[in-house]
Copies of this chain bind each other. A is one copy, B any other.
Amino acid sequence: MTAPTVGAAPAETVDDLVARRVAGQSLEAPFYTSPEVYQRDLDVIFARNWIFVAAAAEVPEPGDYVTIDVGAYSVIVVRDDDEEVRAFHNVCRHRGSRLLQERQGAVGNIVCPYHRWTYGVDGKLMFAESQPPTFDKSCFSLRSVHVRNLSGLVFVCLAQEAPDDFDAVAEVVAPHLAPYELDRAKVAVSYDLQEAGNWKLVMENNRECYHCDGHPELTTAYFPLFAYEPEDITPRLKPLYDRYVKAAGALAEVRAAHGLPLTDHRELDTRVVGYQLSHLPLDGEGKSFAPDGAAVCTKLLGSVQDAAFGDLSLHMQPNSWFHLLSDHAVVFSVLPTSTGTSVLRTTWLVHPDAVEGVDYTLDALTAVWRATNDQDRALVAGTQAGCANPGYLPGPYSMVEDDVEAFVNWYVTRLREASA
């Protein structure tokens, strides 16, 4: 009586798709639309690599926690009693109940809401009722997740063994992050934007400014001269270019005066922990994101002394980017939720003593990136819809989309390694 189950015809595999990827052009549609590729992405990208999940400032005190959903995973990031940041799977060792249900909070111990199994913030099982005498509590600690606190930026790795080059990258990046002292910063605000696109489309969108005509707020703050060579500078662009050269020179002077490195680094697809670090001058007053380039917070971060400190822009594969300015920082993580949806989490950090309404307003602090995120959301949704159209064919990258291609290179390399 059961209705027959109808099977699909034998289909090409994810490995087939990966194998035939053509460099220099956008990926084939199933990379954005196939549930099988999505599952592969979770297994190979998100469950094996270092993923940015939170600012350490989100868990300032022992017992403070956040929970982060990465696909079907839920991870607890918690500050333990030694003030170290720890990470655990958010699932009880008894019958699997989710332990912490809230986005964030503070606990003494982690108590399962179902049968009151009680864990310390170090993950150890402290209490479980009605167990036989043979029950060994030490076998039922929470399952820990690898974690790194890179100068206030918390990365986790869900794999048994984490990629071992994180520390090498941290060594390069940390001196650049140091002046901002993000581990001591304060969260001004954080919000989640629901994206109607595969996580890779959100990342690819972030990796180029070819579309920046649609970002008036962003291009007012930055010099929209990405990938321009001096010979590309037309008479119309000349005033802008002159301002850019001047601002870049000033930024170099400031950093030199404080003995800070100005070097850029670009290893987006040449290592497992792919990253790019750049120092970008800002337009106008050159300080921050106010429309005239003025500061949006009166207190400067960490040990930064000069408000005209440029933007330390950090891109990390596979799911994050960061903008650090003298007066605030904005940190972004992309978290997949289904084949065609993701969450973009954006968090603004300010000096721990900065007071809302006195030193900054949320409106001014968040204006540029809230607007930019919204504009990007529409572009991502349109691309998801377009890629799902069987009429879609991969097209060629332009000359200014090299970071998109580097992201895709990095991604495809990880998939190939995993299948090898």
Contacts and interface: CB of A to CB of B under 8 A. Distances in A.
A337 to B, nearest CB: 13
A29 to B, nearest CB: 4
Contacts of A11: 4-7
A6 to B, nearest CB: 4
Contact of A382 (B13, B113, B159): B113
B399 A132 contact: yes
Interface string A379-399: 100110111111111111111
B389 A72 contact: yes
A389 B5 contact: no
How many of these chains are in the complex?
A: 3
Nearest to A204: B95
A363 interface: no
B36 A6 contact: yes
Interface of A (DSSP majority class): loop
A89 interface: yes
Interface string A78-92: 000000000001111
A1 B74 contact: no
A37 B97 CA distance: 20
A364 to B, nearest CB: 28
Contact of A33 (B3, B42, B378, B397): B3
18 contacts: A1-B47, A1-B390, A2-B43, A5-B8, A5-B12, A5-B30, A5-B34, A6-B17, A7-B13, A8-B36, A47-B390, A72-B390, A73-B389, A73-B391, A74-B386, A92-B395, A114-B211, A116-B213
A389 B90 contact: yes
Contacts of A128: 398
Contacts of A10: 7
A400 to B, nearest CB: 5
Contacts of A94: 26, 395-396, 398
A158 interface: yes
Top 4 A-B pairs, shortest CB-CB distance: A89-B391, A7-B11, A6-B34, A98-B386
A6 B1 contact: no
A101 interface: yes
Contacts of A235: none
Interface in A347-406: 378-379, 382-383, 385-400
A129 interface: yes
Nearest to A101: B382
A90 to B, nearest CB: 7
Interface in A135-193: 135, 140, 143, 145, 158-160
A179 B148 CA distance: 67
Nearest to A133: B399
